Structures are given as structure tokens and as C-alpha cells.
Chains A and B, each alone.
Chain A
Amino acid sequence: MDNTDELKFQDFEEVSNLLSFDPNAPTVAVSDSLASLSGEEDVKLDLNEDEEGLENSKLLGETPTGGFWTFDYYQSFFNVETAQVMDRLKGSVMPIPGRNFVKYYLRNKPDLYGPFWICVTLVFSVAISGNLSTFLSQFGDQTYHYRPQFHRVTIAAIVIFMYASLVPLCAWGFLTWRRGPEGHMRCYTFLETVCVYGYSLFIFIPTSLLWIIPLEWLRWLLILVSTVVSGSVLVFTFLPVVRDHTKVTAATTLLTILVLHSLLAIGCKMYFFHTAVHMATPATTTLPMMTTQVTQAH
């Protein structure tokens, strides 16, 4: 048969690369190959055209069923398994140059589970670690009365969720608007951008837990390491897209992404762990002054 080449199993990476090259390329579903093996290929292929269309959209992964008011619409964003989520988390902490997060890990199946629960965990880990570090830094002080500082959770939630939803919106909007005329690379969808940003925040969770250790140089080192890792995931993801633009635009875009990311890290550290500034002097006379400064800073 002349179409056995089309029907043999192809490596998934190739297929996704081909799809990114030309999203309208016809793909062959497994049911088609089975039908042709049975020998009634003409009839079966006609009947399977609808299935083939569905398989196309499933491979592209971006056509949820139903309108945005139905439950099924959102269910299509949670179509992941444990192994896939673990895979994506691993990919977000180990950026390898040339390995595009969206192409290699997401593979046209972005999900909302990862970004949402990573943001929730980050909110609580930052608030709890900040509370613990405040407590530890004033452990020996007898006049210190422990306070849970529960309002920090609200502030952390607002900041992190706004970052994780507004910055991808701006990035996606900008890149879609500036898409080059001969762009061979299709721009990422909004969901994929949100996904990349959400997974890139994962490294801040262990970082915020390590920030409890009251060593100033360690905290700045941790900020540097986590911003570099997380920022490089973002840079490697967006590099192929901005490659078509002029060098200045490309450099500015990537730089803005990095600056915003490091601002988030430094801002979190400064606000939630700001007692580190005062931990240098062990003199007891200055401690009560510092506690009043701390409480007034709120």
C-alpha cells in the first residue's frame, strides 16, 4: 500500500514539531491505521473523517468542548495525570538550553492544575515562612509576644495571583501583537503562557522555605539562584518566539520578563522577611526599638 508510510508509528517529538510548523497538516489517527489493516480502507476512512478531525483537535489540544459557561470547558484544562505534572515540575527546575518548556513538556496540552496549586502553595509557604522567620529572629527577646500575622496570607495571595495572571496576559498580548509577518513559529496561546509562568514559580516554594534560615548572604544567594533558574526557563521558552523580531525588541522583551520576575522575588523577600535587616546587632537595648519598628512597618 502506498500509504503505509503515513500509517507507521511516528516519534511524538517529530509530530509535535511538524504540527508547530504547520498546524493544518493532516494527521492520521490510530483508528485509521487499524481500519486500513482490515482492508476496507476506503469506506472506513470516510467514516472516520469525523474522528480524524477530533484527533486533530486533540493533538492540537486547544479546542475545549462547549462554551465557557459549561463545566466541560474547564474540565479540559485539568486533563493531566500525576506523572505529567511531576514531569513538568522537574522541567521547571532544570532549564536546559534549547529545551523549550512549552514544546517539550506541555506538548499542546497545557493545564491549569499546576499553575493554580503552585500559586496557592507559594502563598501559604511565603506567609508561613515569613511568620516563622520573624519568630526565630526574636526568639531570645522576652518582651516579644508571638503574633500569627494572618493578614500576610491575604497580601501574599493578592500579589502572587495577580502576578501569575496579569504578567502572562501582558506578555501574551505583546507577543501576539508584535508577531512578525513571516513568523514560522506560532505564538503561544494565553493558556500556555499562564502555564509556563505558573510552573516557573515552583522553584520559589523551596526557596521560601529555605529563607527561614537567618543568614543574610544565604538569602540573597537563594534569590539569585532561584531567579536565574526560573528566569532561564522563561527565557528559553520565549526565545524562539522573539527571534523573529529585531534584536532590540527581543532583548528588551526578555529583559523585561527577567526584571519582573526578580522584582517579585525581591519584593517577597523584602516584605515577608524584612526582619533580616535588623538581625545583625545582638544588643538588647536596640531590640525593643526594632520590635516597635517592625510592628509599625505593618
Chain B
Amino acid sequence: MAEADGSSRAFLGLSDVSISEDIPVEGDISMPPTSSSQDDGFSTLDEPVKDTVLRDLKAVGNKFVHVLYPKKSKALLRDWDLWGPLLLCVTLALLLQGGSVDSKDDGGPQFAEVFVIIWFGSLIITLNSKLLGGTISFFQSLCVLGYCIMPLTVAMVVCRIVLLGGSGTVSFVVRLVVVCASFGWSTFASTAFLADSQPQNRKALVVYPVFLFYFVIGWMILTFAPAQ
């Protein structure tokens, strides 16, 4: 009895606690109809279209700058996108048209052939690098290979401008130098990203197909002969 009294005395002060008055409780128990997303996935539905497009363009442009000055940065790898490679591939394929089209057989590569070579070649090189045990992911590798075509596209533009002035030996030498320089630049830029993902004893096995790929594209650019 004494213990019961003692215990009831301990809780004595609580008996006159009125929840509704002393401790204000407020809030809404029901679920809100629209959940406000406070995480980093912001909605692009509410912003103007210009902002969305400009953001992607800025990302693409940022990656172009990374190809121009190939440092060992992770920006190209982390946020991969395939807009840049698509733009470059279509530009290159369009510029390679308008060649000697008087004979369909012996002409240069058609648009579809350039497209297939670039994308199929990138795919094969990516598969090769993954089969050799590379740590880079599939789309990251496609992204790097596509962006590193940029020096060769610039070389194609320069070649077409040079060809406007005639197609003699001097123009050939100039074109040869430009294409060789851009081919070396492309290979160097892409190996700066790709070779890191392989163990030391297999680096050359991964670099050689990249070298071959850009060599073939450089060859297509160099042998472009304008229609007469």
C-alpha cells in the first residue's frame, strides 16, 4: 500500500497536465496532395525553355573546352552526354558530302557510311575496352570518343576552306599537316581519358584501336576531293 501511495505520489504532478492547453500541438496529419520536392532533382517543367536548352548547351560547350585542353579531369567522364558526339558526327558527315559525285561507285564515303563508321567504330572500341577489363562505363567511353572527334571536324572545316583556293600540291601539303596535327591531338586527348581506366600491362592494347579509328577518320578527311 505504501509503495502504491509512493508511486502514485511520484506521478501526482502529471494528473493535472492538460494536453490541449499546456502543450500546444498543431499540425496536419493528412498527407499533402502535392509533395514539394526538396531534393536536388529539381523540376524543369517550371523554367523557361531557353534555360533548359542553354543549360545543356553550356554542358556541351564545357566538354568541348575540356577536349581542347585535355587535362586529366573527371568532368567529361562524370556527366556524359551524347549531344556533342551527335553534333560532331552529323557536321563531319555533311562536310564530307559534295565530293566527287560524278561517279557513284568511286566516290567518297556516303553520309550513312560516315555515320556508321563513327558510331560502329566507337561501339567496337568501347566493347574492346570493356572486354579487356576497363573500369570506364559504356556510355562514358562513347562520350569521350565522340567528343574527341572535334579536332578532326575542325580540320575538315579548314580543309574545305583550303580547297576553295585550289587543289594543287601546296594545298595538299597544308591539308596533310593540318590533318596529321588534328589526328595526333584527337588520339592524345582520348587516351588521356581512356588509358587511365586500364591496368598498366594493357594500356597499349586499348590505345591501338583508338589510334586506328582516328587514323581512318583522318584518312577520309584527307582524301576528300571536291567535285570539279
Chain A residues close to B by CB (< 8 Å): 71, 74-75, 77-78, 80-83, 85, 113, 117, 120-121, 124, 128, 131, 145-151, 295, 298
Which of A75, A148, A149, A151 makes the CB contact (< 8 A) with B131? A75
Report the minimal beta-carbon distance from B228 to chain A, rounded to whole angstroms: 7
Residue B107 CB within 8 A of the other chain? yes
Whether B133 contacts A113 by the Cβ 8 Å rule is no
Whether A148 contacts B225 by the Cβ 8 Å rule is yes
10 pairs of A and B residues whose beta carbons are closest in the complex: A147-B106, A78-B131, A81-B201, A148-B223, A82-B204, A148-B108, A150-B109, A146-B225, A149-B106, A78-B132
The segment from B16-24, B57-65, B78-86, B212-220 that touches chain A is B212-220
Measured CB to CB, the nearest residue on chain B to A131 is: B223
Whether B212 contacts A75 by the Cβ 8 Å rule is no
Residue B160 CB within 8 A of the other chain? no
Pick 20 A–B contacts, CB within 8 A, sort by A: A74-B131, A78-B132, A81-B201, A81-B205, A82-B205, A83-B201, A117-B128, A117-B212, A120-B209, A120-B212, A124-B216, A131-B223, A145-B228, A148-B99, A148-B108, A148-B220, A150-B107, A151-B105, A151-B106, A298-B106
Residue B100 CB within 8 A of the other chain? yes
**Bound state CA distance, A148 and B219, in angstroms?**
10
Chain B residues close to A by CB (< 8 Å): 99-100, 103, 105-109, 113, 128, 130-133, 201-205, 208-209, 212, 215-216, 219-220, 223-225, 228
Whether B225 contacts A147 by the Cβ 8 Å rule is yes
Whether A145 contacts B225 by the Cβ 8 Å rule is yes
Which of A82, A131, A148 makes the CB contact (< 8 A) with B203? A82
Whether A117 contacts B108 by the Cβ 8 Å rule is no
| Contact partners of B131 in chain A: CB under 8 A | 74-75, 77-78, 113
Whether B205 contacts A113 by the Cβ 8 Å rule is yes
**Bound state CA distance, A181 and B216, in angstroms?**
50
Whether A295 contacts B103 by the Cβ 8 Å rule is yes
**Bound state CA distance, A147 and B113, in angstroms?**
16
| Contact partners of B108 in chain A: CB under 8 A | 147-148, 150
| Contact partners of B219 in chain A: CB under 8 A | 128
User: How many pairs of A and B residues are in contact by the CB < 8 Å rule?
Assistant: 71
Whether A295 contacts B106 by the Cβ 8 Å rule is yes
| Contact partners of B205 in chain A: CB under 8 A | 80-82, 85, 113
**Bound state CA distance, A211 and B223, in angstroms?**
19
**Bound state CA distance, A244 and B69, in angstroms?**
63
- Beyond known contacts A82-B205, A113-B132, A150-B220: 9 more, CB 8 A cutoff: A117-B208, A117-B212, A145-B100, A147-B108, A148-B100, A148-B223, A148-B224, A148-B225, A149-B106
Whether B103 contacts A117 by the Cβ 8 Å rule is no
Report the minimal beta-carbon distance from A158 to chain B, rounded to whole angstroms: 15
| Contact partners of A83 in chain B: CB under 8 A | 201
| Contact partners of B216 in chain A: CB under 8 A | 124
**Bound state CA distance, A74 and B216, in angstroms?**
26
| Contact partners of B105 in chain A: CB under 8 A | 151, 298
**Bound state CA distance, A298 and B216, in angstroms?**
23
**Bound state CA distance, A179 and B209, in angstroms?**
38
Whether A124 contacts B212 by the Cβ 8 Å rule is yes
Measured CB to CB, the nearest residue on chain B to A128 is: B219
Report the minimal beta-carbon distance from A49 to chain B, rounded to whole angstroms: 28
Report the minimal beta-carbon distance from A89 to chain B, rounded to whole angstroms: 12
Report the minimal beta-carbon distance from A118 to chain B, rounded to whole angstroms: 11
**Bound state CA distance, A78 and B128, in angstroms?**
8
Whether B225 contacts A113 by the Cβ 8 Å rule is no
Which of A117, A148, A149 makes the CB contact (< 8 A) with B209? A117
Select the residue from A124, A128, A146, A148 with max chain B CB neighbours within 10 A.
A148
Select the residue from A113, A147, A149, A298 with max chain B CB neighbours within 10 A.
A147
**Bound state CA distance, A80 and B202, in angstroms?**
8
Measured CB to CB, the nearest residue on chain B to A74 is: B131
Measured CB to CB, the nearest residue on chain B to A149 is: B106
**Bound state CA distance, A162 and B195, in angstroms?**
32
**Bound state CA distance, A83 and B205, in angstroms?**
10
Whether A147 contacts B100 by the Cβ 8 Å rule is yes
Whether B201 contacts A82 by the Cβ 8 Å rule is yes
**Bound state CA distance, A82 and B203, in angstroms?**
8
Whether B128 contacts A150 by the Cβ 8 Å rule is no
| Contact partners of B107 in chain A: CB under 8 A | 147-148, 150
Select the residue from B105, B133, B223 with max chain A CB neighbours within 10 A.
B223
Which of A75, A124, A147, A148 makes the CB contact (< 8 A) with B133? A75
| Contact partners of A124 in chain B: CB under 8 A | 212, 215-216
**Bound state CA distance, A56 and B34, in angstroms?**
62
Report the minimal beta-carbon distance from B125 to chain A, rounded to whole angstroms: 10
Report the minimal beta-carbon distance from B64 to chain A, rounded to whole angstroms: 28
